Chain A
Amino acid sequence: MKSIYDVTVIGGGPAGLAAAKGASSKGASVLIIERESLLGGILKQCIHDGFGLHRYHAPMTGPEYAEKEYQQLAPFSLDISTQTYVININSMNDSFELLTTSRFGYRTIHTRNIILATGCRERTAKQVFIHGSRPAGIFTAGTAQYYINRMGYLPTKRCVILGSGDVGLIMARRLTLEGATVLGVFEAKNEPSGLTRNLHQCLEDFDIPLSLSTTVTRVFGEERLNAVEIAKVDSSMNPIRGTEKIIACDGLILSVGLIPENEQAELINVQLDPSTHGPMITQDFMTSVPGVYSAGNALQVHDLVDYVSEGAECAGIAAAQTSRPIPMLIPIQKGSGLSTLVPQHLNINLPYQNVISYFRVTRTYQNATLTIYVDDRPILSKRYVRVRPPEMERLVVQYSALSEASIIRWTLEGEIV
């Protein structure tokens, strides 16, 4: 333990590991604080493959990817504090004081910079307004995955999955492989929420039906779930009377959205973006609070861990800089067609020649054109054959000759599918 760290990373999942690597590679003294007893975050329970295609050009499982990321830390001497939880953060003059609890006590840690890599949580049944009784047998997909892959127990034998997010699709396949019957995946939206490859590999390959514009409205069962009611929904997602159907089952798995966890960020009044639910950042991943950076699913929910690692490593490198120019921020305006856009600001006192940017679209488009304007002058235009809301797009943008009066605007236009 050091008396003060250059960089403290909160969270030892993929974002935290890559951030720690980034900061260490620039010579910073680094501490990783992890809540669980093992590093790796949610990757530990993601035993399916498909991780690392971009970063390592090889498919691997979640635990393998985590191991690979952990190995990257080998050349560096950094501190790791597991089973440790950050209770509070106090901003000092040019540093921070973290109050932590662990089996070793209630300790204060001093750090010059913080990287928030706290991940995300799942939306629950009550948060999507499912009614009826309160039996056992209702699980968020991640919790079901934990039970199966980390504890070795099947939480249901015959289930319905609500939501076509990636975790839900992967769980449909996982449950089927374990001998459970997945009666169907129901999605309230009129298009699937998961990656196209998961729709093929997890549902179609296993003959699991997907019903769009359909939701679960009610659950039944006193002690253990014994049935759910499903119903068609109208364009404003309200259940349509008369379309209700009862399905007998002993499990309901929910994959209805992920929410970035930013309770620690809120402790120090980091400004959040209502569209991503994560902090607003500049191109160096710094939040509205100088010295506080954000990465991974706490910043925004990613589909690919490779992008998590890439961004977090940049955040780590930035956090390790010893001198920081006075920020001069200009907003990047999110025009039509885009639902999220990160970073939200450019700091023009930092380099802006290669800005890694991520966006999602509001709906599915084909033959779409993304245009970036600086002062109404297009500086970049990119064609997309097809773009879908579940698939986060990454783009490296070369801006040039910006001033504090520059107006940057991104728009996307295309045929609505």
Chain B
Amino acid sequence: MNLHRLQTKLNQLHPSFLAKEVDDAVVLTGNCDDYSLIVQAGKLAVDKKRYRGVVNNIHLSDHPLTSVPAPTFYDQTLEGLCPDVIIIGGGIIGCSIARELSKWDLNVYVLDKSSDVGMHGSSRNDGMIHPGIDLTPKLKKGIYNRLGNELYSKVSSELQVPFERRGSYLVFNKSWMRIGMMLYLRYKSSINKIPMVRYVSQRELLKKEPEVGKQFKGAAYFPSTGYVSPYLMTIAYAENAIQNGVTFSLNTTVLGFSVSNHHMESVQTNRGTLFPKVVINAAGVFADVIAEMANDRFYTIHPRKGTIAILDKKSAGLTETSIGDPFHDPQRQNTKGGGVVRTVDNNILIGPDAVETPLREDYTTDQQQLDQLISKFTWVTPNLNRGSIITYFSGIRAATYEEDFIVEPSKRIENFIHVAGIQSPGITAAPAIALDVEQMALQILGSYQVINKNSSYNPYRKSIPDPRKMTSIEREQLIKNDPEFGVILCRCEQITKGEIRAAIRSPLPATTLDAVKRRVRAGMGRCQGSFCGPLVLAMLAEEQHVPLNRIEKSGKGSTILCAPTKGGESHEIHL
């Protein structure tokens, strides 16, 4: 809609809302104390034909502006470095781009403000590799999802990350839905060029998924849906990038840029100023803040929170795949609806839901959200038992108002690339996005220099051995080579001391309890680390040669122990 009509509609929402056009983007200003009105205004302003994007600068009253959290320390580790490429953000997008760029003889740096890669959106999702049925090829999401889904078999095997293509079901509870739904889904399969959706009768559904509610009259089956551990995938991409020469600088926050003559000269961080040739913005929920720092913002990230609950492996029988009912959405939210999902690690996962929030990293959970999840998915699988929930968490989707990915070189800064708005299905799309961004970066770099191949590039990553997936002979041999692989330290998930040691010594070493957990699952079981926590902590302290009270749970400042007791620390820690 044109600016005049938009303004009229905005005024109906709130008198202070104002729209104007700046550099092909529509910019909203105003002041309001109702966040939902601010989001509504942003949605109203979307007009992809007229504008590149919506910059929603409407201020939420009494709300601190959300900028990138201030760093807790400063040093000069990176001062004066001149890398070829800087990637801002170590989520799956940043890590996959780094890995693809490592094919070339380039000096690549990945900067992330957190203590590990994949600590935000990339580890806080359902790990589904989506078929992409809800998308269209007009959306970047649609294109990248299709390509990404196809690439997963290859990439996951190169990176030795467990990936299972088990398919998924959408169920419907009215017989009359069958014809319309199947026509629609077949049409969507064909335009999106994805493997053909198949109709499944109630009888067949109950045979394949005996725990599904008896009210469902049939289902659509999507054969291309896959399952992966999204944090392991992110870590694997990062490790392979590191093996091929990429440098990861963690606990590194971007504070500003200097841009002159449409060229980004330098990147200021808490660890020094770097002078890169190309900068890639893969900053997730903070991508628009980073764009703003470069004075090149044409979009808005409006954070959308999703809550997920994880059930004990004893509930694994609830589904072999994933089951969702898109019509049963009492809260009417902007999501594919979530589902009851069997993860690649054989837990049952329910969720996620979707709630708009002004806070970009608000990972709190609420009973109300959890109760809604439980009731929504008890409809799908009636034997879902709330007593089987072992943990729950939330994540934030980095949604733009256009609800599409932004993967493009800056129009204002010749050596800056935006990879923003990557929310669901970002895990699916990452391998395809990374290949495209690799080409964009090469094109920019090509104007400065001849780019040679990295002669020692190796696309294969060696994973940490998993004794549970071995034959008894292999397992016996593994223990013979390293007896620590025989000693179980995390009893719930049966994780050995050897695996934990390997995680601490991996190419991107696990330095915290949560980092160990993401790599080898120690602490992810039903006791949630009550038994293995102290033992993993002791191993981290031993490997890092620091006292036990220096070891952190997750980020800077999350130390677990305060001080030695009156009797002093024990020097003998037995397993």
Which residues of A are interface residues toward B (Cβ below 8 A)? 35-38, 83, 85, 87, 99, 101-106, 121-122, 124-127, 129, 131-137, 140, 142-143, 146-148, 150-157, 178-179, 222-224, 250, 266
Residue of A nearest to B361 (CB): A222
The reply to whether A155 and B560 contact each other, CB–CB distance below 8 Å, is yes
In the bound assembly, the distance between CA atoms of A156 and B390 in angstroms comes to 24
Inter-chain contacts of A155 with B (CB < 8 A): 560-562
A residues within 8 A CB of B392? 126
- CB-CB under 8 A from A157, the residues of chain B are 562-563
Say whether B389 faces chain A, with CB atoms less than 8 Å apart.
yes
Residue pair B527, A85 in contact (C-beta under 8 Å) = no
| A134 to B391 Cα, complex, angstroms | 11
**Among residues 480 to 537 in chain B, which have CB atoms less than 8 Å away from a CB atom of chain A?**
480, 483-484, 486-488, 491, 494, 496, 526-528, 530-531, 533-534
Identify 7 residue pairs between A and B in the complex whose beta-carbon atoms are under 8 Å apart, listed by A's number: A101-B479, A150-B570, A150-B574, A152-B565, A155-B562, A157-B562, A223-B557
Segment of B260-268, B279-287, B362-370 in the binding face: B362-370
Residue B570 contacts which of A127, A131, A151 (CB distance < 8 angstroms)? A151
Given A101-B467, A103-B484, A223-B555, verify A178-B566 contact (CB < 8 Å): yes
Query: How far is A266 from B562 in the complex, measured between Cα atoms in Å?
Result: 39
A134-B554, A146-B534, A152-B567 are known; give 18 further A-B pairs, CB within 8 A: A104-B483, A124-B391, A126-B390, A127-B390, A133-B363, A133-B364, A143-B530, A150-B574, A151-B561, A151-B570, A151-B573, A153-B549, A154-B563, A154-B565, A178-B565, A179-B566, A223-B552, A224-B557
Specify which chain A residues have a CB less than 8 angstroms from the CB of B564 in the assembled complex. Answer: 152-154
Say how far B123's CB is from chain A's closest CB, in angstroms.
Answer: 12
Q: In the complex, which residue of chain B has the Cβ closest to the Cβ of A154? A: B562
- What residue in chain B is nearest A85 (Cβ atoms)? B488
User: Are the C-beta atoms of A105 and B370 separated by less than 8 Å?
Assistant: no
- Complex-state Cα separation, A266 to B316, whole angstroms: 15
Identify A83's interface contact among B389, B476, B487, B549, CB under 8 A.
Answer: B487
Closest chain B residue to A238, Cβ basis: B367
Question: Please, how many angstroms separate the alpha-carbon atoms of A136 and B573 in the complex?
Answer: 22
Are A143 and B364 interface neighbours, CB within 8 A?
Answer: no
Q: Which of A106, A131, A137, A151 contacts B475 (CB 8 A)?
A: A106
B483, A103: Cβ atoms closer than 8 Å: yes
Q: Which of A105, A122, A148 contacts B530, CB < 8 Å?
A: A122
Docked pose: A343 CA to B570 CA in angstroms: 41
Residues of the B chain whose Cβ atoms lie less than 8 Å from the Cβ of A83: 487, 575
> CA separation between A119 and B44, bound complex, in Å?
59
Q: Which of A129, A140, A151 has the most CB of B within 10 A?
A: A151
A35 interface neighbour in B484, B491, B527, B533, Cβ under 8 Å: B491
Assuming the A-B contacts A129-B367, A179-B566, A223-B558, are A121 and B530 also in contact, with contact meaning beta carbons closer than 8 angstroms in the complex?
Answer: yes
Closest to B561 in A: A153
Asked if B548 is an interface residue, CB under 8 A from chain A, the answer is yes
Asked whether A136 lies within 8 Å of B574 as measured between CB atoms, the reply is no
Tell me which residues across on chain A come within 8 A of B366, comparing CB atoms.
131
* B559 surroundings in chain A (CB, below 8 A): 136, 224
Q: How far is the CB of A169 from chain B (nearest CB, A)?
A: 18
